[in-house]
Structure 1
Amino acid sequence: MNVAWFALSPWGWFVLGGILLVLEIFIPGASLVWLGIAGFITGLIGFAITLPWQAQIFIFAVLAVLAVIVGRRLSPAQGEASDRPFLNRRADALAGRILFLEIPIHGGVGAVRVDDTLWRVEGPDLPAGERVKVVRAEGAVLIVEPADQGTPTA
């Protein structure tokens, strides 16, 4: 049986590693990255020592399994709670806060100040200075209602 076409060179492993890394861009899932890294390491080993194709494939297989295991440990777990759950949803973090109206609500639209930012609000018509409670956020607009008596949180 002619196995010459199985003969792999270190450059072949580099090409395979590169292809796997490029495929990761189009098929995201963070698993092809680790296989690509295993291909590159196999190529480096191939430059260091000459190995038959069977040994190269075995080394690649072992490195691929190890790389995937290491990659899984380094990657955050799916559904894992973040220490900053509202990082990219700042408006959602304002739900439940009591704020003062900076601009009165007329025709259902007004504004409140949160720190150094003026936020658009929607709710029932109320005068400026009135306390409102943020019910929810719809995009960058806060939906508010009149606040109960108590101390403000902002």
Structure 2
Amino acid sequence: MSFKIIFWYWWALAAVLLVFEMMLPGVVFLFLAFGAAAAGFVLLIASDLSLEFQLLIFAVVSVLSAVGLRRTLRRLQHIDGPPNTLNARGDAMIGRTFVLDAPILNGRGRVNLGDGSWNVSGPDMVKGAKVRVKAVNGTELSVEPAP
């Protein structure tokens, strides 16, 4: 008695791989599911294929779908990275530490950042003290002493 693979086995494998794709991070099992579904479809049409040829179809379709869908999936995914601060330069400074270029007197001072100078507000501190930006109010940085 010999074991014969029928197309339903490949489709069941594709369904299991799709469940794995939904439960686990990344986009790996989706391509394998495409390969299993394609192998099952080819086996449905030509039921006398050898196991080696079925595995070849599975592998080739999996790799081709990974290569072919890579650009589309990358565009659809949200890539983690630094937030886009092109038009919100002050928001990029929250949490960063700087050195005061002028003392903070009566709650007001200045700090030079790169090629610009920013107004700062916070507790009175001497020139050269390290400050951490905690908020941005328009063009003024709200600071606190840095640890």
Partner of 1:52: 50
- Residue identity (%): 24
Give the structure-1-normalised TM-score.
0.49
Paired with 1:75 and 1:56, the residues of 2 have a C-alpha distance of 27
Give the structure-2-normalised TM-score.
0.52
Q: Return 5+ residue gaps in structure 1 as ranges.
A: 98-122, 125-135, 148-154
1:56/1:146 Cα in 2 relative to 1: closer, same or farther (>3 Å)? closer
Equivalent residue for 1:75, pick from 66, 73, 76 = 73
Q: Return 5+ residue gaps in structure 2 as ranges.
A: 92-120, 123-132, 141-147
Shift of 1:58: 1.6
Paired with 1:13 and 1:59, the residues of 2 have a C-alpha distance of 11
Give the total of aligned pairs.
Answer: 101
1:20/1:146 Cα in 2 relative to 1: closer, same or farther (>3 Å)? closer
Partner of 2:99: none
Paired with 1:20 and 1:43, the residues of 2 have a C-alpha distance of 14
Paired with 1:145 and 1:59, the residues of 2 have a C-alpha distance of 60
Equivalent residue of 1:143, what SS? Answer: strand
Paired with 2:139 and 2:57, the residues of 1 have a C-alpha distance of 68
Shift of 1:94: 3.8
Residue 21 (structure 2) pairs with residue 24 (structure 1):
yes
Residue 90 (structure 2) pairs with residue 96 (structure 1):
yes
Shift of 1:75: 2.7
Paired with 1:19 and 1:79, the residues of 2 have a C-alpha distance of 26
Residues 110-129 of structure 1: pairs in structure 2 closer than 5 A: none
1:72/1:81 Cα in 2 relative to 1: closer, same or farther (>3 Å)? same
Shift of 1:64: 1.4
Paired with 1:146 and 1:55, the residues of 2 have a C-alpha distance of 67
